[in-house]
Amino acid sequence: MPDGQFPPDHATPHATAATRTLRSPAALIAAGLAPPRQAAALQAVAARYAIAIPPALQAVIETPDDPIGRQFIPDPAELLTAPHEHPDPIADEALSPLRGIVHRYPDRVLLKPLLACPVYCRFCFRREQVGPDGGVLADAELDAALDWLRDRPAIREVILTGGDPLMLSVRRISRILNALSDIPHIELLRIHSRVPVATPEAVSEAVADALAAPLHRDRAVFLVLHANHARELAPAARAALARIQARGIPVLGQSVLLRGVNDSAEALEALFRAMLRARVKPYYLHQLDAAPGTARFAVPIEEGRRLLAALRGRVTGLAWPTYVLDVPGGHGKVPLGPDYLAPGGVRDVSGAYHALK
């Protein structure tokens, strides 16, 4: 299949066999997604970092090192930590006043109700924390987080992340969203998830109804979908997103610039076009966070800026995300986009700019 195209609606060989989530090196080897000779090395990786590849993503993996397989199939290189890598690269822990809360900006917070995911990305910046035993916040911990939010009227936005909040039960999702909607100063709720592409069958009508409930209480709700390659937006994923969008919830897209996954203008163009076809507005393209064992995915910032510059004029402005770096140490995101007006920039138009002044 040409790079960046949607998979066909009919089953692929992996889709035919995939009936369960692969969670171990042995399961990967049995599925033909890892060579038997790597069994011991992959077991060492699994002892440190969680593995999970659900059927929907198995269905769009063509080879273990293709743009989908590379994101989710473990590699022995994950046990090599480069000098610049850090287990908490953006200082989540340092900015966490209590369990489940990260407070980096004055007007918004992260609320992490659980630390489990439907799929474990091999480049995840929270890879030291997430896993199937990540669990959920206990009732007392969730109540403490809600009380903390009630006491801070400067906070207007809560971002549900994790882990993946859409792995929670409908009852739990409803409880959290209703409680947040009851706090007068919280105006905006944002939900970050990979579930629509990883386990689209989990996005039921009941889940979509729960996500929409705050809309009826004059609260804005956005879903932010994490996808890095056009093939992730398969028919089942688009159907899951449509169930959410039918409730009036806008969907934004966030991606990470990754070596061997989307590090070409063609792959990024295909990804952003696929998002728009699915009514997902590309929002952020993240520079890779330097978590341990992720160096094989790193794309230098200047290369990323050149890739974005190559797309200017080639895709609609609706397809244009903000290219950002989360500054190490918890200093927040800064934009990295090409500077067209700077002399010697990626595309030097400074002369024309000064002629207009």
Residue 5 lies in a domain: no
Catalytic residue among 75, 121, 194, 243: 121
Q: What is the pLDDT of residues 288-316, one digit of tens each?
A: 999 999 999 999 999 999 999 999 999 99
Q: Is the pLDDT of residue 330 over 90?
A: no
Give the pLDDT band of residue 340 (cuts 50, 70, 90).
Answer: low
Catalytic residue among 88, 120, 289, 305: 289
Residue 91 lies in a domain: no
Q: What is the pLDDT of residues 197-245, one digit of tens each?
A: 999 999 999 999 999 999 999 999 999 999 999 999 999 999 999 999 9
DSSP 273-339: HHHHHTTEEEEEEEPPP--TT-GGG---HHHHHHHHHHHBTTB-GGG-PEEEEEETTTTEEEE----
Note whether 261 and 172 are same-domain residues.
Answer: yes
Q: To the nearest whole number, what is the mean pLDDT of the chain?
A: 90
**Residue 122 to residue 71: CA distance in whole angstroms:** 6
Q: What are phi and psi of 224, to 5 degrees?
A: -115, 115
Catalytic, 92? Answer no
Note whether 232 and 292 are same-domain residues.
Answer: yes
For 102, the enclosing helix (H) or strand (E) is strand 101-105
Of 76, 91, 116, the position where a domain reaches its end is 76
Catalytic residue among 117, 194, 219, 305: 117
Of 22, 42, 76, the position where a domain reaches its end is 76
Give the pLDDT band of residue 8 (cuts 50, 70, 90).
Answer: very low
Residue 160 lies in a domain: yes
Residue 313 lies in a domain: yes
| CATH code assigned at 235 | 3.20.20.70
Catalytic, 104? Answer yes
Q: Quick one: pLDDT at residue 344?
A: 56
Note whether 57 and 185 are same-domain residues.
Answer: no
Catalytic, 124? Answer yes
Note whether 44 and 110 are same-domain residues.
Answer: no
Q: Quick one: pLDDT at residue 332?
A: 85
Query: Which residue range is the domain that position 342 belongs to?
Result: 101-356
Q: Is the pLDDT of residue 265 over 80?
A: yes
* Encoded amino acid at 293, one letter: G
62-66, 127-131, 259-263, 339-343: the lowest-pLDDT one:
339-343
Residue 294 lies in a domain: yes
Note whether 220 and 319 are same-domain residues.
Answer: yes
Residue 288 lies in a domain: yes
Note whether 275 and 352 are same-domain residues.
Answer: yes
Catalytic residue among 66, 75, 104, 127: 104
Note whether 49 and 157 are same-domain residues.
Answer: no
Q: Quick one: pLDDT at residue 351?
A: 40
Catalytic residue among 66, 75, 164, 326: 326
β-bridge mates for residue 188, sequence order: 157, 220
Total domains in the fold of the chain:
2
Give the pLDDT band of residue 166 (cuts 50, 70, 90).
Answer: very high
Residue 340 lies in a domain: yes
Catalytic, 326? Answer yes
Of 76, 92, 122, the position where a domain reaches its end is 76
Catalytic, 296? Answer no
Catalytic residue among 333, 339, 340, 347: 333
Note whether 231 and 298 are same-domain residues.
Answer: yes
Catalytic, 139? Answer no
Catalytic, 333? Answer yes
Note whether 177 and 243 are same-domain residues.
Answer: yes
Q: Quick one: pLDDT at residue 339?
A: 73
Catalytic residue among 108, 150, 247, 296: 108
Note whether 31 and 109 are same-domain residues.
Answer: no
**Residue 254 to residue 272: CA distance in whole angstroms:** 10
**Residue 225 to residue 55: CA distance in whole angstroms:** 18
Note whether 72 and 126 are same-domain residues.
Answer: no
Note whether 105 and 36 are same-domain residues.
Answer: no
Residue 324 lies in a domain: yes
Catalytic residue among 23, 48, 92, 105: 105
Give the pLDDT band of residue 337 (cuts 50, 70, 90).
Answer: confident
Pull the structure tokens for residue 278. 């699915």
Catalytic residue among 70, 126, 238, 243: 126
Question: 326 CB contacts (<8 Å, ≥6 apart)?
Answer: 89, 90, 125, 286, 287, 289, 332, 333
Q: What are phi and psi of 251, to 5 degrees?
A: -120, 125
